[in-house]
Amino acid sequence: MRTPKAAWGTGIFLVWVPGAVAGGIPFWIAASGTGPQWQRNGASSTLGWMCIALGSAGLLDSFVRFVIDGRGTPAPIAPTEVLVVRGLYRWVRNPMYVAVLLVILGQALLFAAPLVLGYGGVVAIAVTSFVHWYEEPTLARRFGDQYTAYRAAVPGWWPKRPVDANRARAV
């Protein structure tokens, strides 16, 4: 896939899927009833904004990696041509999902909204199921031994010390 086409597809996917899952839906949940109640100061507000900022940065970095390194999009209908193993993918295999969950957690803290936290739990179950039942088998079929070695070297959900990019690329 050519880079401009991958960039457009990735941008559209970013707005529609993570934009809705991590942005629109949690905001709508927090706003139901009396409207979102912003926590203007305090530890939960600061931590909430930090989670949102870190998650957003991680999400954007991961999407850029799909376009540049993978020459494709995160959308299953236009997948990458190359297994992405650089950037945040050196620390964890699922940085996009971790980032989305971090943004949702940030909103739960920022709005002091237990329902948003519960929604985050539902999203966590959905994405771990999707990864287990669809994504990992699909990547194993598509990239074979390279994905098997990458999976053995890099944890799925909890980051650890980065794997040498050359080693991860060679696997």
Provide DSSP, 10-61: HHHHHHHTHIIIIIIHHHHHHHTTT------SSHHHHHHHHHHHHHHHHHHH
For 58, the token pair is: 């991680």
CA angle 5, 78, 159 (to 5 degrees): 105
Mean residue pLDDT across the chain: 85
d(CA 47, CA 135): 31
Instruction: Give the count of beta carbons closer than 10 Å to the beta carbon of residue 18.
Output: 23
> One-letter amino acid identity for 11?
G
Instruction: Give the count of beta carbons closer than 10 Å to the beta carbon of residue 133.
Output: 10
* Structure confidence by residue, pLDDT tens digits, 78-108: 778 899 999 999 999 999 999 999 999 999 9
Q: Write out the H or E segment, with its range, that includes residue 109.
A: helix 95-111
The whole-number average pLDDT for the span 18-35 is 82
d(CA 144, CA 9): 25
Task: List the single range of 33-42, 70-79, 162-171 with lowest mean pLDDT.
Answer: 162-171
- First-to-last alpha carbon distance for the chain, in angstroms, is 23
The answer, yes or no, to whether residue 151 has pLDDT greater than 80, is yes
Crossing angle of helices 43-68 and 95-111, in 10° steps, is 160
Task: List the single range of 22-26, 58-62, 125-129, 159-163 with lowest mean pLDDT.
Answer: 159-163
The answer, yes or no, to whether residue 136 has pLDDT greater than 70, is yes
User: At 41, which CATH number?
Assistant: 1.20.120.1630
Say what the pLDDT of residue 169 is.
54
Q: Which residues contact 52 (CB under 8 A, 6 or more apart)?
A: 102, 103, 106, 107, 110
Best CA proximity match to 116, nearest among 48, 171, 167: 48
pTM for this entry: 0.85
Domain count, the chain: 1
The answer, yes or no, to whether residue 35 has pLDDT greater than 90, is no
Range(s) of the domain holding residue 158:
3-170
The whole-number average pLDDT for the span 10-19 is 73
